[in-house]
Amino acid sequence: MSDVPEPSSPVPLLPAGLTPPLLGLLRQRFEAPVEPDPEGAAERETAALLLGVGRTPGPVAVGVGSRGVANLEALVRGAVRALRAAGWDPFIVPAMGSHGAATAAGQAQVLAGYGVTEARVGAPVRATMETVVAGEVDGLPIHLDALAAAAGAVFLVCRVKPHTDFRGRWESGLAKMAAIGLGKQAGAQVIHSAGVPGLRDLMPRAARLLAVQGPLLGGLAAVENQRDQTALVCGVPAAGVAGDLEAELLERARELMPRLPFDRLDVLVVDRMGKDISGTGLDTNVLNRMRIVGEPEPEGLHIAAIAVLELTAASHGNAIGVGLADFIPERLRRRVDTGATYANSLTAGIVGLERAKLPMTMPTDRDAVLAAISARGRPAREPLELAWIADTLHTEVLAVTEPLWRAALGRPDLEQLAEPRPMPFGPEGRLAPLPEFASAG
């Protein structure tokens, strides 16, 4: 018989009389360009890039990552078609570092979940965690997927966007996929072991090594808008990887990324987090919260407390980034696969330490939201500034408390959609998703 007592419920510790607020509905107004034919654009851009490669066609490894990129299947299919038309023999390799629980089968499963299979994109998927050392940067080995190295040619398909761990001229995109994604767990660990400087400084140098001295032909880069849609598709030659062209694409991506239209919030409620939403499950650029040991928090938007309610199925239990939240309900905790989460966190090194920690866990969604309100750090008599979003990829429509809803009147970037009404908690304390709340308005 154990002497360890059963954990008591934290709910009685919440202030008496605390109730969920009324929320009104807002929509952000913004520029959102869209590429009408992502697959056709991928084929055209890849074909144009290959004209300048100047190499005899042969086997080529097409690197594809683990992110939830809009139209990923179509982009890969278009690139594969162009490669075949130019005489190349493409096959797909996962280029995702340690994701997929750091196993070959897990990485192939992640790609299959995005529709990247031989039947769907026209090229076989070959997965391995084996690497070769392609060279050194500052005495550190730069790893490369063994299958890609054997092919002698690599073409990348990815999205360019601001990174969730650091700020630099090159962040998430072709350079990162080349240096870290194709490096599998071994290569990702080498670069992440240097912390933020490794990502900001070492990563682009490693990518240039593969572009100048290695097998990299170039890649296809997509930029997305605030609605998680493909805004543009661009073929980038090897010289443009960790070069001017990729830097220009990053700046455009920064202009178009989702954001929250406030300077401060007491509470942010997020329906869901996941690897298909952001590499950190929750996009730190949207939250303006980094939680990296030894690194300062960014200036600008400050959120006192964050409650996140669910982990997406496409995350396969990898809850990296859950530590960016302050409160979660029990239903999210039950979906966490600690093995997958820790594999991602340990590979990320110091960057992943805080982000893999479980927040305070409450019995229900309602309890998690009320706990966040109670912990906002301001007296109860002061107006509550709370916002509710579906996830950090989708912030166009959001629900807000009455002070924020009233303040939106007259702002050219915000449209009032529906007046404040009760949050839709079910009888067991589960919150209906924001899209249902919006459609009911």
Residue-wise pLDDT for 151-165, tens only, equals: 999 999 999 999 888
Q: 1: pLDDT confidence band, cut at 50, 70 and 90?
A: very low
Question: Does residue 8 lie within any of the structural domains?
Answer: no
Over 50: is that where the pLDDT of 4 sits?
yes
Who wins on pLDDT, 308 or 440? Answer: 308
77 lies in the same domain as 169:
yes
Q: Is residue 146 part of a domain?
A: yes
| Shared domain check, 69 and 139 | yes
CA distance 239 to 6: 60
* Residue 248 belongs to some domain of the structure: yes
100 and 220 share one domain: yes
Q: What is the model's pLDDT at position 351? A: 84
396-408 confidence digits (pLDDT tens): 999 999 999 999 9
Burial of 298 (0-12, 13-18, 19+ CB in 10 A): middle
Strand partners, 181: none
Q: How confident is the model at residue 441 (pLDDT cuts 50, 70, 90)?
A: low
Mean pLDDT of 59-77: 93
Average pLDDT, the chain: 93
Predicted pLDDT of residue 6: 62
Provide the pairing of β-strand 131-137 with 140-145. antiparallel
What's the token pair of residue 207?
A: 């990518």
From 256, 271, 300, the end of a domain falls on 256
Q: Is 37 helix (H, G, I), strand (E, B) or coil?
A: coil
Q: Are residues 369 and 274 part of one domain?
A: yes
Q: Are residues 262 and 402 in the same domain?
A: yes
* Residue 207 shares a structural domain with residue 350: no
Percent of the chain with pLDDT over 70: 98
Name residues whose C-beta falls within 8 Å of residue 201's C-beta, 6 or more positions apart in sequence: 168
Q: From edge to edge, which strands make up the β-sheet containing 302-308?
A: 360-362, 327-329, 302-308, 264-270, 386-389, 397-401, 22-28, 414-422
Together in a domain, 179 and 238: yes
* CA neighbor of 171 nearest in space, from 300, 60, 287, 278: 278
What does the pLDDT look like over 15-31, one tens digit per residue?
888 999 999 999 999 98
Please give the structure tokens belonging to residue 412: 């050219």
Query: 300: left (phi > 0), else alpha (psi -120 to 50), else beta?
Result: left
Residue 67 has pLDDT above 80, yes or no: no
pLDDT the model gives residue 259? 95
> At which of 199, 234, 256 does a domain end?
256
What residues form DSSP beta bridges with 251?
A: none
Q: How many domains does the chain have?
A: 2
Report if residue 55 sits inside a domain.
Answer: yes
Q: Which CATH number does the domain housing residue 78 bear?
A: 3.40.50.11440
What pTM was computed for the model? 0.82
Cα distances from 88 to residues 53, 79, 82, 177, in angstroms, run 12, 11, 9, 21
Crossing angle between the packed helical segments 338-348 and 184-192, to the nearest 10 degrees: 50
In this structure, the dihedral spanned by the alpha carbons of residues 115, 257, 312 and 180, taken in order and rounded to 10 degrees, is: 70
* Dist. CA 373–CA 382, nearest whole Å: 12
Average pLDDT of the segment spanning 369-381: 92
Same domain, yes or no: 135 and 227: yes
Is 322 domain-assigned? yes
Query: pLDDT tens-digit profile of 303-358?
Result: 999 999 999 998 989 999 999 999 999 999 999 999 989 988 888 888 888 999 99
- What are phi and psi for residue 105, nearest 5 degrees? -65, -40
**Domain carrying residue 431:** 13-30+258-440
Last residue of a domain, one of 198, 230, 256: 256
On the question of pLDDT at 85 being above 80, the answer is yes
Question: Considering the domain boundaries, does residue 2 fall inside one?
Answer: no
Mind listing the pLDDT tens digit for each residue in 117-149?
Answer: 999 999 999 999 999 999 999 899 999 999 999
- pLDDT given at position 2: 53
- Residues 33, 35, 38: CA angle, nearest 5 degrees: 155
Q: Is residue 353 part of a domain?
A: yes
- pLDDT of residue 250 exceeding 80: yes
Q: What are phi and psi of 386, to 5 degrees?
A: -120, 140
Do 238 and 298 fall within a single domain? no
Q: What is the pLDDT of residues 96-119, one digit of tens each?
A: 987 777 899 999 999 999 999 999
pLDDT band at 257 (very low <50, low <70, confident <90, very high): very high
246 shares its domain with 286: no
* Residues 206 and 315 grouped into a single domain: no
Residue 7 domain flag: no
- What share of the chain in percent tops pLDDT 90? 77
Whether residue 214 is predicted with pLDDT greater than 90 in this model: the reply is no
Q: Do 373 and 412 belong to one domain? A: yes
